[in-house]
Chains A and B, each alone.
Chain A
Amino acid sequence: MRPRGMKTLTSFSITIAILLTALSIYVVEDLPAFGDENSPVNKHVKLFSVDADGMAESLNAGVLPTEIKSRIEKMGFNKEENYPTLEEGNYKIEYIEKGTWLGGRLYTDSGWDVLIHEGEIFYNEPQQYYFIKEMNGNLTVYRYNWPVRVMERTEEETAIINAVGSGLADYRGYDTMGEETVILTGAIGVILLLRRRGRL
């Protein structure tokens, strides 16, 4: 295989550079801003919004209006997909004022938290799952993501203050076992290739 001249290699890499810059200009609009704490990664992801004609009272009374419930079920967060169900006894609704601190999160706007029994073996008290916010006449429903539960519950569930440590060893402990196996394969690969003295 003749070694390709320097010119073709550099031209190939320049085309890749131009292609990547074009791609990144195309994509940058839909990215979450840097450091925005309400982005899907850091807090919650927006599911849908519905016009709130009479639902605020039933929410205050602690009953999830059927229209929202059926909408959530239809989206797929239902029993068949192995999600916690929204029957009567299984959830609780709490009203959260603007500016309160919960799980290391500042609530910049008031709304209702829907807490659901997760059905895990050792932790069965309700967990923050959905967040309903009233905005100029309609209700938008959000679904909480990873950090909310971990920041709020890591002390209580795993007694480890460092959330990165508990995330590494506990919540996603299986990843770390894979990580150790990667280190082991690296070491054995190097032994296999280079070692000549010694038994192995």
Chain B
Amino acid sequence: MTPERKVYKRDVIIEVTAKLMSPLILLFGLYVMIGTGGTGGGFQGGTILATGFILYITVFGSEKGREKVPESVNAFFKSFGLFLYNGAGWICILFSLAAAQWLNMPAFWPVTDFVGIAGARSFMVAYMISVGIGLTVMASFVSQYFDLAWKEDDEMEGDEG
């Protein structure tokens, strides 16, 4: 499975189907991730998003894959997901002036005024926490895929510890 640079064969059928399929997989992953009513939650959505990217990277090789998923964007999504989740807890303390606990979501009073206590909780879970989990899981699994599955080419020259 490790593609030497020279003998990399390209197959039109696989590439066209991959070009067609991965956006659809990403769309389905978004549906699963956002919102609490439907199937699955943040984690399952994030894994489906990751498979969308992994399909693209497997077919087009790690260089083209790196163009699509550059390293800095990948690391940004890893941290941004957890900023969202941690931030959700942090906001509850800030907005309630240290009256509510870490993840006590109704304390986020702008949302609670509109949709009430239970609505505030489901809003925060649906949009801040699920999305946060999904982004982190997507970015982490894609970056692990790059490192574990793709042997980097320059590694051929010297055996570096």
Which residues of A does B touch, CB under 8 Å? 121-123, 155-162, 165-166, 168-170, 173-174, 176-177, 179-181, 183-184, 186-187, 190-191, 193-200
Given A158-B121, A158-B125, A199-B72, 17 new contacts (CB under 8 A): A122-B106, A122-B107, A160-B122, A161-B37, A169-B41, A169-B130, A170-B121, A180-B132, A180-B137, A181-B82, A183-B136, A184-B82, A187-B143, A190-B143, A195-B152, A196-B154, A198-B71
Give Cα distance in the complex from A139 to B119, angstroms. 40
Contact B41 A196 (CB under 8 A): no
| Count, A-B residue pairs, CB within 8 A | 112
Contact B102 A174 (CB under 8 A): yes
Say whether B160 faces chain A, with CB atoms less than 8 Å apart: yes
Which residues of B does A touch, CB under 8 Å? 36-37, 41-43, 71-72, 75, 78, 81-82, 85-86, 89, 99-107, 117-119, 121-122, 125, 129-130, 132-133, 136-137, 139-141, 143-144, 146-148, 152, 154-155, 160
Give Cα distance in the complex from A195 to B151, angstroms. 10
Instruction: List B contacts of A173 (CB < 8 A).
Output: 89, 103, 125, 129
Instruction: List A contacts of B85 (CB < 8 A).
Output: 176-177, 180
Contact B125 A184 (CB under 8 A): no
The residue among A156, A162, A183 with the most chain B CB atoms within 10 A of its own CB is A183
List the A residue with the shortest CB-CB distance to B85. A177
Give Cα distance in the complex from A170 to B121, angstroms. 8
Could you give 21 example pairs across A and B, Cβ below 8 Å?
A121-B101, A122-B104, A122-B107, A156-B118, A157-B117, A161-B36, A161-B37, A162-B41, A165-B41, A170-B103, A170-B121, A174-B103, A177-B82, A177-B103, A181-B82, A183-B136, A187-B143, A190-B144, A191-B143, A195-B146, A200-B71
A108 shortest CB reach to chain B, Å: 31
B15 shortest CB reach to chain A, Å: 24
Instruction: List B contacts of A187 (CB < 8 A).
Output: 78, 139-141, 143-144
List the A residue with the shortest CB-CB distance to B104. A121
A110 shortest CB reach to chain B, Å: 31
Instruction: List A contacts of B147 (CB < 8 A).
Output: 190-191, 193-195
Instruction: List A contacts of B78 (CB < 8 A).
Output: 184, 187
Give Cα distance in the complex from A157 to B155, angstroms. 55
Instruction: List A contacts of B36 (CB < 8 A).
Output: 160-162, 165-166, 169
Give Cα distance in the complex from A159 to B72, angstroms. 37
The residue among A156, A158, A160 with the most chain B CB atoms within 10 A of its own CB is A158
Instruction: List A contacts of B100 (CB < 8 A).
Output: 121-122
B72 shortest CB reach to chain A, Å: 7
The residue among A155, A157, A181, A187 with the most chain B CB atoms within 10 A of its own CB is A187
Contact A186 B121 (CB under 8 A): no
